[in-house]
Amino acid sequence: MKFKVAVVGAGAVGEEMVKVLRQRNFPISDLVVLARSSRKQLINGEEMDVKETTPEAFDDVDIAFFAGTEGAKGASQVYGWEAVSRGVFVIDNGDDFRMDARVPLVVPEVNPDAIGPEHRFIANPNCSTIQMVHALAPLHRIARLKRIVVSTYQSVSGTGSAAIKELQQQVEDYVAGRELRWEQYPYQIFANLIPQISSLKDEFPGYYGEEIKMIKETRKIFGIPDLAVSATCVRVPVFRGHAEAVNAEFHNPITADVARKALSEFPGIEVIDDPAASKYPMPIFAAHKDPTFVGRIRQDPCHPNTLDMWIVADNIRKGAALNAVQIAELVIDRGFVRPK
């Protein structure tokens, strides 16, 4: 079986989706890239005819990937359910429908059974949520999660292509002795850390939107509505790859050695954990790679049944494009989607 596939969005995530589809030999009969306007654009090294997104553009499509980055509203809100009504299986990287009761929120290694044959619209979790739940899933199966405290160090690519260019320009301006300018963030990101991603929300006083996403999405993915989760999300001057310091408390005892073994045997996880030799995951090593990397695994000396760990992944790849393609592969394998 081969499928007509649409990628909606031609930015950083959309381009990465095209790249991942090609690299994984996804069964494509035809690939179309949709955006706000028609144009020719170089995507993953090939010139493609980008077409304007309209309801009719989905008529012959089997699977549509909506490639919106965090905070990029519009495409799935306008066209997501319209595409479903035209017989399309939709996988949405945006945040508009993640907490919608109709929509499974899926990391294939973690909760594949959240998808049933009745579902035609699946949501990708937030990039920072994906890598955290991916790493915690094998430990949760052993000892049952009780509480999570996470601090994230998130690269500018999570904001999109414009933020990548802005950091690049700030580096160049700094070296040249020119005045630094910024538009993507409330402050310069070069040589700085910004403890704000998104805006404040009344639902959780004092928490920014990215932090609330991690709280609510983690609860939904693990199916634990009252799971204790606290997050502090920080934007850092890194081009690609998110890092997280996680303190996870469990209901049952679990040692660092048991955790290392469980993580090393879990699909999609790579353990790099030799602190004496200065071996641990870093964004510079994770960029453009598929795995979620875990290291600095150790027992919290102040609290029983609690582990500290360091989690790194490519936010554009596993945190967006790869996870979406894996969802499509999963539903194809299970026979939940077929060509028209």
Q: Active-site residue numbers?
A: 127, 242
Q: Which helix (H) or strand (E) holds 97?
A: none
Token pair of 93, please?
């990287």
Q: Are 241 and 313 in contact (CB under 8 A)?
A: yes
State whether the Cα torsion 283-287-291-292 is positive or negative.
Answer: positive
DSSP tag of 276: G
Q: How far is the C-alpha of 217 from the C-alpha of 279, rounded, in Å?
A: 31
Placement of tokens 């960029």 in the chain = 287
Walk across the sheet containing 306-313 and list its strands. 228-235, 145-154, 242-250, 306-313, 292-299, 269-271
Token pair of 135, please?
């790493």
DSSP tag of 319: I
Amino acid at 322: L
Q: Which helix (H) or strand (E) holds 185?
A: none
Give which of 90, 70, 72 is closest to 80, Cα–Cα.
90
Q: How many CB atoms lie within 10 A of CB 44?
A: 15
Q: How far is the C-alpha of 267 from the C-alpha of 258, rounded, in Å?
A: 16
